[in-house]
Chains A and B, each alone.
Chain A
């Protein structure tokens, strides 16, 4: 039931792009993305609520394909500050668990100068 994130880890040079994927075996109602730097709490990036919805701010954007039950996070022209572990959280599309949010195991992103 835990969403599957890929890749597990990625190393980039500054300025390179990356894509992090999040797939679920269950129908999704929403997908949440967070970034956690070492020794800190997770920080909210964005939430996607509708199938096909895309969002972005700065050079980080995301898409949500409801049919495929997956979301992708796009980081373009990466900066050193993008380093950290990225988590997707999924809320399922059935009424029983109204408040249950299930996170993936995370993708560790390292950006080198």
Chain B
């Protein structure tokens, strides 16, 4: 069964303090993606990766970085977090863009 593990699940931090949200998968899927979810705005894609060393911007990439050095991991990096990045974040995996996506349990970030 597909497993997508996000860490941490919850984090309260302060403006400007760099943080990383990790995402790892157990399925060897090529496609991985990060979304943020805010009330009334739905799911918005931040970055996605079609394979190792291949990443691309989604709709709301400003203020975020990602890397895909190995297939199983796709960390989301906030170099200098700001309060407007307070949100619920989901990592998702799939075999490809037009395949079912399996989501992690989410990471709730609060930036004060």
**Interface residues in chain A, defined as those with a beta carbon under 8 Å from any beta carbon in chain B:** 1-2, 29-30, 32, 34, 40-44, 47, 49, 87, 89, 91, 97-106
**Chain A proximity of B40: nearest CB distance (Å):** 6
If A2-B42, A41-B90, A42-B90 touch, whether A101 touches B97 (CB-CB below 8 Å) is yes
Nearest residue (CB) in A for B32 is: A99
Q: Smallest CB-CB separation from A103: which chain B residue?
A: B43
Known contacts A99-B31, A100-B59, A102-B59; is A87 also within 8 Å of B43 by CB? yes
Contact partner of A98 among B44, B45, B59, B97, CB < 8 A? B97
Shortest A88–chain B CB gap in Å is 9
CB-nearest residue of chain A to B106: A41
Please give the residue numbers on chain B whose beta carbons come within 8 Å of chain A beta carbons, in ascending order: 31, 33, 35, 40-45, 48-50, 56, 58-59, 90, 97-106
- Interface contacts (Cβ under 8 Å), in number, total 66
Tell me whether B97 and A106 are in contact (CB under 8 A): no
Q: In the bound complex, what is the Cα–Cα distance between A32 and B58 (angstroms)?
A: 17
Which of the residues A40, A42, A91, A103 comes within 8 Å of B97, measured between beta carbons?
A91
Contacts of B33 in A (CB 8 A): 99, 101
Write the nearest CB–CB distance from B110 to chain A, whole angstroms: 16
| Cβ of B86 to closest chain A Cβ, rounded Å | 18
Which residues from A are CB-within-8-Å of B41?
A: 105
How many Å from the CB of A100 to the closest CB on chain B? 6
Across the interface, A100 reaches (CB within 8 A) one of B40, B56, B104, B105, namely B56
